[in-house]
Structures are given as structure tokens and as C-alpha cells.
A and B are shown apart, each in its own frame.
Chain A
Amino acid sequence: MSGVAFAYSRAADVADAVARGGAPGAAFVAGGTDLLQLWKAGRATPTELIDVYGLGLDGIGVDGDELSIGATARLSDVARHPFVVDQHPLIAEAVLASASGQIRNMATVGGNLLQRTRCPYFRTAGMACNKHRPGSGCGALDGEDRHAALFGAGSSCVATHPSDLAVALVALDATVEVSGARGVRRVGLSELYRLPGERPDVDTTLAAGELITRVLVPRAASIGRLATYVKVRDRASFEFALLSVAAVIRIDAGTIVHARLVCGGVAPAPWRLPAGEALLIGQKPERGVFTVAAAAAVEGAPPLPGNSFKVELLRRALVRTLTTIATGS
């Protein structure tokens, strides 16, 4: 029931984690809910696991003008944190739409952002998958592509990013703080992810050994703004998104002055829809406007045979999300 054995140790502190995390075969483990599954399936083969769960990076609080969420904060703690619930309900909504209560009690924010795709071919030992081994082929392109991406995919890989939380955080212009061999840096969450291109096996722009220490959400992202998260799935609960939408708008004197439309389950990363956003700015928050913006947002999405329904579904989900926000229901 297990993959190849690995060495395991707890990181003493961030410096220790970073110092050892860059070694070949080394990997951080937080809640372990994703990594250990991949290890069991033979799709992750770390030789050394560095446990960062106990580093005390789990604080949630206000830091200057930002909400700071520690990388090892458990999803359940994030969703019930009074400040999050009060000031950034979008985050709580997205988290509560994720996994189950039991998983949220183990899973961390950092691990959630860095979880790997749910593409069934990627997660099944023995199946051809370029993300697992570049050049080995793509099972999804030849097989069942219902879950395939609409945006940002390449010929090498059509997998989508599964995180709900990341979609909400991108809509809130979040950044992540990263510690690495060359010190601490901050990177916009949207810039954390990369597209498959020639290297479908690499999901992020993190350098080897870089550790996410916290996620920062500008306070302004929520003030005076209306936001909601809509997740579409087959089952009532406990399922990854078929697709999801996080929308944030600010209305000033009856006109939309700020808009973020981000969708999940349709691209290798949380996907912003700038064409749609642009058509909202300066307009009144009305259904007609939403319909036009949503249509523009999905234009040009090139579907595969099995996932063409997603284009229309996304368009409708966008209208629905915006309407929900505007009518407050």
C-alpha cells in the first residue's frame, strides 16, 4: 500500500526547512492529504520528507493593511476565523465548499494552493501522463476529457487546477510570501502558477526548496466590495469543482468601478477573465451587462469534444454569480 520508502524528519525552523528542502528528492509535507496520496499511487517519489506542519506557521491575523494567513493554517481554522468570516467571507465560502470537514481539519492553506491536479490519469499508476513523466503521452487527450481545461492548456497537458481556495484568493489579489535560499520574496498568487508548455511536470514558479510561509490578502480587496463564490459539481457535497467562479465587484454611485472574475476547474491555474472584467467597469450592475460581460469572458475558449458543455456552463455560472452579488441573494 505504499510507495518507495523515504526519510522523514521535522523541520526545526524555516531556515532549516529551506536549507534542506532544495536537495534532490526532498519535499515539504504539511497536512499530507495530497502528497501522501500521490506517494501511495507511486506518482510522487520523494526520498526525503521535511515536515513543516509543526513550524508554527499557522497564525491568522491582521498585519498592517493585509490579512495574513499562515501557510500551515488548517482550512477549518481559516473558515471559522472571525476576521476571515467578517472581512473576507469569500475565503470562508471557498474553503467550506472544499473537501469534507475531516479533510479540512488536516489540510493546510499552503498544501491546498500546491495540491496537484485531479486528472485521473495523473493519479493512477501505470497510465500515460506527461505531467507525471514528460514525453510519456497524455491519457486525458486520448481518453475521457470531460474534466479537461478550457484555457491555458497546451498540447502536452489539459489538466486543471483543483483548488477552490486559490480561485477566491486570486480574485482578492492575494500574494504569497516565500522563503528560499536567497531570502524572502513575495509573489502574486497568479504568478505562482505556470502553464504546462514544454514542462507539464512543473506546476509553479517556486524554486527548489522555496517554502510558502504565508498568504497575504490586501484589506482593500474586500472593503466596500461585493463578492461571492459559486461552485458547480455533480454531487451535493464533497466533490471537486466541475467549475467554479469567484467574482468581486465594487460599486460606486451605481457604477461598477472594480471587477475581478476568476474561475476554477477550467485551466491549469485559477483563471482570470480580463475581457469580462473590462466590460463590467463603468457599467451599471444589471443582468444585461452581466450577460454581455460573461459572453465576452468565455469567448474563444477552445473546447475538446468532451468538455464543450463547460463553455456554456461557465458563461451561465458567471451571470449567476454576478447576479447573486448584485441582488445580494
Chain B
Amino acid sequence: MSNDVADGAAAVDGAVLRTVLVNGIAASFEAPPATVLTEVLREELGLTGTKVGCSAGDCGACTVMIDRAAVCACMVPVGRLAGTSITTVEGLTGDELGERLQASFLRHAAAQCGFCTPGVLMAARALLGTNRQPTRQQVMDGLGGVLCRCTGYQAIIAAVLDVDAADPVTVRPTSGKAVGASIERVDGRVKVAGTDVFGDDDAPDDALVIHVIRSPFARAAFTFCDLESFVSENDGITAVLTARDVPGVNRFGVIAPLADQPVFAEHETRFAGEAVAAVVVLPGFDFSSIEFPVVWAALNPLTSPALALHPAAELVHTDRPANVLVEGFVQTGDVDAVMPSCAAVASAEFDSPFVEHAYIEPEAGWAEVIDGLVVIHVTTQSAYMDRASMAEILGVAEHRVRIVPTAVGGGFGGKLDLSVQPFLALAALRTGQPVRITYSRAESMASTTKRHPSKLSVSIGADSNGRVTAMSFEGVFDTGAYASWGPTVANRVPIHASGPYFIPNYRAHSTAVHTNGPPSGAFRGFGVPQAAIAQETLFDELAGRLGIDRLEFRILNALTAGQRTVTGHVLEGGVGIRDCLEALRGPWADALTRAQSLNRANDRRHRSGIGVAGIWYGCGNTSLSNPSTIKVGVRSDGSVVLHQGAIDIGQGSNTVISQIVADAIGIEVHRVLLRSADTSITPDAGKTSASRQTYVSGMAAYLAGVSLRAKLLAMLDASFDSEFVFDAGVLRCHSDGVARSVDLRRLPVDADGFVVVAVESYDPPTTALDHNGQGTPYAVFGYGAQLIELSVDTATGRVQLHRVVAAYDVGKAINPQLVVGQIEGGIAQGIGLALLEEYLPGRTNNLHDYLIPTIGDVPPIETIIVETHDPVGPYGAKGVGEHSLIPTAPAILNAIHHACGIRIRSVPATPTKVLAAILKRGAA
């Protein structure tokens, strides 16, 4: 283009006027040539549909088409764009094929959090542009460069293959029929359109930008030089914040009594990536070449629990003796007496590394102060907890802080702790201006929580009939520098380590140990996935020794209603593990035959194997109150508005809670208007963790819906089972042959605009555990089992997964399609835990050294939904969010053993480890 003068041979650096063709429209902006296309699209042209997950070509979230070819916009310098035509996700609207693709994604629920969705759609659109009817393999090749952490890719593949569906059906249940229907996500359309607003998507143009200064060392002392002149000598720098600028307490933590993490370290940092200061700069100011005036002195870090537990070890926190944060303990029966008399005992040690959540959306948000109210727009899983912590940090009352959660591009537990919130609030208060921050991928990975590394020592014994009679479990968990969710892990693990089986003699002890690693926190399963690896692989060894089929061994030992769990809790009903395992009997027999015939036919190099594992998982907090409150009301025009504070991080609570409330009220679900979480609008529905939203917030929604219905019918003086309709502003019903009506427009309106409103809370009935861990830790457990078919390339140690069959007892599937999505996504993360993922502090802070599963790593998944109506949950439902991840890794390890006779007890089972084990076995 001739006006693009800077691209001529003589031009030099500098911001010059450029014109590019985006979605068919010529757009002009000023930028230096090395500015990347993502920045121009998002910041200059306001096209925020194109996402940034890594800025390095690793995630594909930024995929756009340039001249019909898919490229990573984060890598395209704008100096290069003259004469090209760019298409972004916004350009799919109006494009026939693009709109078909979007519709297919909605039908297949191929967008969960929706953060990868624009990139996936663009890669798919480019593929279809050259290959209108791709095969499954071609879809996988075409989409191989986009990472999705939520879906497990199966729905995405199905959606692309089904783009030309002749007669697509939209599920639109009638009144009272929403529960059990696979309705489209209520927030799905914005996700496929690229218009959903995530943490980095709506900061005001003039917002100041925050950069955080972080420790490069696992442990270091530091001193600042002259910060005042640093600010005054740099024109673009507005302010510097350090520990001295925290007006309240410089400490936060999700478990209040143990709160120990400073916003800014004071004197000494405890992990690599810990913040010491924040610099607030003008928008557009290039901070990268500025040297911050801090002097570091590296100190000797404690890099493992073994070092930290050494009697001579220094203390990470002086008030935590022996570097022990907490211990968990559950004991029943007499393990020591019974174990020696067992017919078979299997014992082993296991370990697992730090695992990173690797949601594709890095932490981001913006804040402003309005009339003394600090308003923080942020990607978070826990708005109310955030508000409480922020009030403490700022030293103000809670009503002075408002948390407005943006759409969340994946959380999995990693967005339960504070991240950007304190920096935003402090900077907004200090400068009086809107401020924003977006973590880089490296910053996100270095500074946020991880899955706890574990070292487990486990023994399980069974009698000669194959009944498991005794188990002992000793677990050491590396809880890193700060408490975070360490106590939850330490408490949950001993309760769950038995697996969903009846074990009369049991002792489990866990210790969460501080080190100078990154804080270990909440990650789908709170330590239970690590424990399940030990228990489920030892079960295989026992079955093998006793000559019992591995699946039958589990069925024989499965917990049933009326039996005591290891905490002495007698579950009255809804114990579905046996049903799940039995549902796998058919697939198991088929898979076994298939593996045997493959092994006969194969060259000796590829060995096929199958594995199974079962799990249980308690929904809600362990023995602690964790209430949810839901508000639903009717406006004078007859519209029904749901104030639902259960944050939807992609798992679908916006949709599921709408379905429950619609049926409870007795109206069509598409009539429910949604107000999502906002601490100034929606009541507290707790945090999105512990698989609690469907059950706990679902119960609150159910109760609120029933209460609203009762109020409406009382106004009509009609019986509770009468049917009613909203006829514009008039509520009408026919009851006992009489037409009744109430004119809503004449009723007084409350602050929310409601003429009738119901607010209800629900808190799961649990009891505290005694010194032996006995009690009722959860009101509801979910159950599941997975079967894996795989083959091992014994030449290279590479494991190839062929198929997963997952059977889950979800009580009642409120939305079966969303349940399947949760299961497929959990399995993909389980695959990562089993085969790929190992976070090394300081070394793997990117998505090419830290490997999460790509589309090619996840095999086809078949889900069997088992519904054993839960006596406690809404419509019998319970959670599945975390349950789905837990059995995958042990099932894979069991299948590897079945295939080639090796036992991998240290995940991830990379080709290197598998090959080493094969060689060792060969040598033995």
C-alpha cells in the first residue's frame, strides 16, 4: 500500500500511520513496525475477540486469518501487513460458513470458558476454507496449534465435523422440563461471537498500566534504592508501590486464620516470582527496558519437603515449627493388627511434581475508584472471598470494595486465590485513575498456585476372598511458600485416600510442608488425584496377586449404601460407585479382547493394555459451613431475573442454575434473565470450587425458585400445583375453574426492580471430624470410574491412548451435555497429569516447556451417565467438576502395566521414564 510509507526501504523506526484491511474494512492506526497484530487488533481497533494466551506462538488463542491462512496474530509484526486482508472472529458474523461453524459450536457445547474459542474457530474456518469436508484426522491436524484446557477437544472435533448438519435441532424445553435437558449454554452466544468480556477485554483506554517486580530467586533478601527519584526521573512512571503502601494488613490467604501471603514481600522473598513492588506507568509507556532499582541477595532455598523437614532446616515461616503447615489424620479399626494377617499386601512409594493449571487466560483485570468505592473488574473464581481479603488489605469495610467478575478463561482452582486484585486496588487508590494489569504467561505461571507435589507411602492388604481389609497411607505434600489451600489438601486426602471402597481398618496421615517452591493451592481435586494414583494402582497389584479380574476386584470392594466410610459416615443412599463400575463391565470385556488380539497381531514393539480406576469425591467444603444464597425475582413487566453469584468459569453454572430455578418456579428456562456474579448485585454464592456449585448453589436456587413460586401462587390465592403465566405485566392462572390474575404493574418495586422476590440460602449439613477424623465431612459424594485403552511403543516409551470410557454417578444430570463436557475436560487434564505435565520453578514458565495436552493427545471419550438420585442434592444432582480428572492417571498407569509389565510410580510417565522402566525390566 502506497500510504504505508514506513515500509519503504528508507524508512526507519517510529510510529507511523498504517492502514490495514480487517474484516473487509480499512482501518488506520499508528504503531511502530514491530508492534504485533494482537496489540493492534485489541488496543487500537477494539477487536478484543482475538485473545492472547502466551504471546509466543504456543497456544493459538490469537489465531486469525491473513489472506485466508491461519496465523498467530501475536507473532505478526504490523510492518508486514500492507496489502493483506485480515479476518478475525468478529468477521465470522456475516460469513455463511463462519456462522454455521459458530452454530455448530453452540450445539456441541464446544466452548466452555470460551477463551480459546475465537482461535479454535479461526483455525477451523481456515481449514474449511481449503478442505470443505475434512476427516477427523484432518480436523485434528488443522486444529493442532490451538490449546484448549477446558473441553478435552472432543466437542470441538465433533462441532467442526458437524458444521453442515442438515437439520440442526435446538433444545427448547417447555416449562418444568429444563432439568435433564441439554439446553445450549445461556452464555454461549457471546463466547462463539468473541464478544464475551474477559479480564483484559474492557479496561478504559486511558487506564494506567501496572508492572509487577518479582523475585528472580527462590529465596532472596532485597533492598530498594532510591524509589522517589526513580519515579521523578522517568517521565512515563506515575507511581511505585511496595509493602509500605499497603494501608491495611499486608497479608492474605484463603483460609483466614492461616493467612500468610504478603501482597509485597517485606525484606525477604520466599519463592521465585513473589512480588516486591509494582510500578504504575502511563498507557503505551515501554517499561521493558527500564531497570528497577532493587538489589537482590540470593539466599539458600529449601527446594523440597525432605530438606524442609530436616531438623536443622531454617523455617520458611518462623511461627510454623518444623516447616509443617498442617497435618490431616483419619483412622478407623486396627490397621497394625490386621495388615500382617492379610492374604496379600501391596506396598509402594509414589511421587508427583508441581502441576500448573495452565488456563489459557492469564490473570487480568482493571479497577477504578468511584465515590470512595473501589471497583475491581477481574477474572476470579471467588468474588466474595476476594472482597473480604481486599477489605483487609485496604483497611476498609467490605462495602467499600466491589468485585465485578469478568468472564473467566479457565480457573480449575488457580483463580481462587488473589492475584492481580491487590495491585489494581492499591494503584487505583494511589493514582485516583483507572488502572489495568494483565499477567504475561511467564508471570502467571511463576506467581500463581500449583498442584501440590506429593510423596506417598501406601500399603493395602486384602484377604484371600479378595476383600480389602486394611490400608495405611502416609503422604507428604509440598505446600510451597504460603498456606493457600494447603490445609484443604491435607484434610481432604486422608478422607478420600481409601477410594470409594469399604475398608474397615484404615489409617491415613498427611502433612503439608512449607518449602521455597511456589505456593501450592487448589487444583481440581485438592490432592485426591495424587492419592488415587497410589490406591488405584495398588488395587491392581492386589487383584493380580489374588488372581481376580481387576474390575471385579473393585466391584467386590465398592462402597454401598448403609456401609461406613473411613470417617464412620454411613451414607443412606446415592452411593453410585458400584453402578459405575458395573456399567464398565461390557466395555471392559470388549477392551480386553481387543487388547489381546492386538497383542497377538502386533509387531512385538507395540503392546496394548487396558486399565481401570474408580473414585469418589465429596462435594463442598470439608466439615465447614459453605453456604450459597440465590435471589430470584419478578419485575413489573413480568420478566423473571435470576441473581446468581455462582461464578461460571466455563463449567456451566450460569446455565445449570437457570435450569434448576426455572423448573422450581415452573416457567420456561429461556424466560429466565441472568445477572451473573457481582458483589454489589448478586448475593454470595460462595466460591466456584470443591465441585459445589451444582449441589450447594443449585439447592439454594431450588429453594429460591420454590419460594418464589409459592409467593406468586399465594398472591393469586391458588394452590401450589397450579399453573400460571406472565401475560406482559399481568400474572394469570386458572385454578379450580376460576380465572385469577394480579397486575404486577401496580405493585411496589424494590431496589433491584422486583415486585416479588425470593432469597434463599443453603448450607450442606456436615459435622466436624474428631481427633481420629471421624464424622460427616460432606453431605454428598459423587462417584465415577474410567476405563482406558492404550498402547505402548516399547521402542521409544511413548504411550498412545486409544479410547476412554467414563461412567459417572452425577445423581441427576441437570444438563447432560455440560456433564459430558466436564468429564471430557477433566480427562484431558488427567492425561496431562499422567503423561506430560511437570512444572519446574523458574524453568517451565511457558507453554512450550510446560506441555499440556494438545488435540492429538486426547483420544475419543465415551461417557456413561449413571443417575442414582441423591437424597440431598437439587433434583437429586451432585457435582462432577473435579471427579472427572481423578481416575484418569491411575487408569493410564494400570493400562501401561497391563501392556508391558512396568509399574510407573512417579508421574508424569514420559517416554523417558517408560523407556527406562522397560529397559530395567528387560535387564532384570
Contacts and interface: CB of A to CB of B under 8 A. Distances in A.
B912 interface: yes
B76 A106 contact: yes
Given A42-B288, A101-B144, A102-B70, 7 more contacts: A3-B288, A3-B289, A4-B289, A16-B9, A120-B844, A240-B848, A309-B915
B912 A309 contact: yes
A103 B71 CA distance: 6
Nearest to B140: A237
Interface residues of B, number: 64
A149 B910 CA distance: 19
A12 interface: yes
Contacts of A37: 56-57, 75
Interface string A152-181: 000000000000000000000000000000
B9 A99 contact: no
B9 A239 contact: no
Given A36-B34, A51-B80, A100 B9 contact: no
A6 B289 CA distance: 13
Nearest to A4: B289
15 contacts: A5-B34, A8-B32, A10-B79, A16-B9, A49-B34, A102-B63, A102-B123, A102-B145, A102-B146, A105-B69, A106-B72, A232-B911, A234-B835, A238-B854, A312-B915
Contact of A317 (B11, B33, B795, B916): B795
Contacts of A320: 605, 795-796
Contacts of B63: 102
A124 B440 CA distance: 14
B908 to A, nearest CB: 8
Contact of A7 (B12, B836, B845, B849): B12
A3 B288 CA distance: 6
A6 B843 contact: no
A36 B75 contact: yes
Contacts of A237: 144, 854-857
Given A232-B796, A235-B853, A9 B55 contact: no
B145 A143 contact: no
Q: How large is the interface on A (under 10, 10 to 19, 20 to 34, 35 or more residues)?
A: 35 or more
Nearest to B912: A309
Q: Which 3 A-B pairs have the closest CB atoms?
A: A100-B145, A236-B856, A8-B33
A86 B849 CA distance: 35
A33 B145 contact: no
A313 B851 CA distance: 20
Contacts of A7: 12-13
A40 interface: yes
Given A101-B142, A106-B75, A33 B9 contact: no
A101 B911 contact: no
Contact of B144 (A3, A51, A100, A317): A100
Which of B7, B145, B915 has most A Cβ within 10 Å? B145
B10 interface: yes
A231 to B, nearest CB: 10
A228 interface: no
B145 A9 contact: no
A91 interface: no
A120 B12 contact: no
Contacts of A32: 75-77, 80
A320 B793 CA distance: 11
Contact of A319 (B145, B795, B856): B795
Given A102-B63, A235-B853, A242-B911, A316 B72 contact: no
A32 B9 CA distance: 18
Contacts of A4: 289
A10 B798 contact: no
Nearest to B605: A320
A234 B832 CA distance: 11
A7 B34 CA distance: 9
B816 interface: no
Contacts of A146: 912
Interface in B687-738: none
Interface in A25-57: 32-33, 36-37, 39-40, 42, 49, 51, 53
Contacts of B12: 7-9
B346 interface: no
Question: Is chain B's binding surface mostly helix, strand, loop or mixed?
Answer: loop
A102 B916 CA distance: 35
Contacts of A240: 848
A232 B57 contact: no
B840 interface: yes
Contacts of A242: 911-912
A300 interface: no
A71 interface: no
Contacts of B797: 313
Given A146-B912, A235-B853, A313-B915, A2 B13 contact: no
B13 A10 contact: no
B205 interface: no
Contacts of B69: 76, 105
Contacts of A105: 66, 69-71
Interface of B: 6-13, 32-34, 36, 55-57, 60, 63, 66, 69-72, 75-77, 79-80, 123, 126, 141-142, 144-146, 216, 286, 288-289, 440, 605, 795-798, 835-836, 840, 843-845, 848-849, 851, 853-857, 910-912, 915-916, 919
A318 to B, nearest CB: 10
A6 B13 contact: yes
B560 to A, nearest CB: 40
Given A240-B848, A309-B912, A1 B288 contact: yes
B857 A236 contact: yes
A50 B805 CA distance: 54
Nearest to B438: A1
A1 B915 contact: no
B388 to A, nearest CB: 33
Contacts of B126: 101
A131 B852 CA distance: 28
Nearest to B911: A234
Contacts of B6: 8
Contact of A99 (B57, B79, B840): B57
A39 to B, nearest CB: 8
A181 to B, nearest CB: 18
Interface string A223-235: 0000000001011
Contacts of B79: 8, 10, 51
Interface in A211-260: 232, 234-240, 242
Nearest to B65: A105
A150 interface: no
Contacts of B605: 320
Given A40-B55, A101-B141, A235 B857 contact: yes
A101 B9 contact: no
Nearest to B142: A101
B18 to A, nearest CB: 12
Contacts of B9: 9-12, 16
A320 B796 CA distance: 9
A186 B887 CA distance: 58
Contacts of B75: 32-33, 36-37, 103, 106
A1 B284 CA distance: 11
B145 to A, nearest CB: 2
B144 A120 contact: no
Nearest to B64: A102
Given A9-B11, A36-B75, A143-B843, A2 B796 contact: no
A126 interface: yes
Contacts of A309: 912, 915-916
A144 interface: yes
Nearest to B76: A106
A12 B10 CA distance: 9
Nearest to B143: A101
A125 to B, nearest CB: 9
B63 to A, nearest CB: 6
Contacts of A232: 796, 798, 911
Contact of A103 (B34, B145, B916): B145
A239 B851 contact: yes
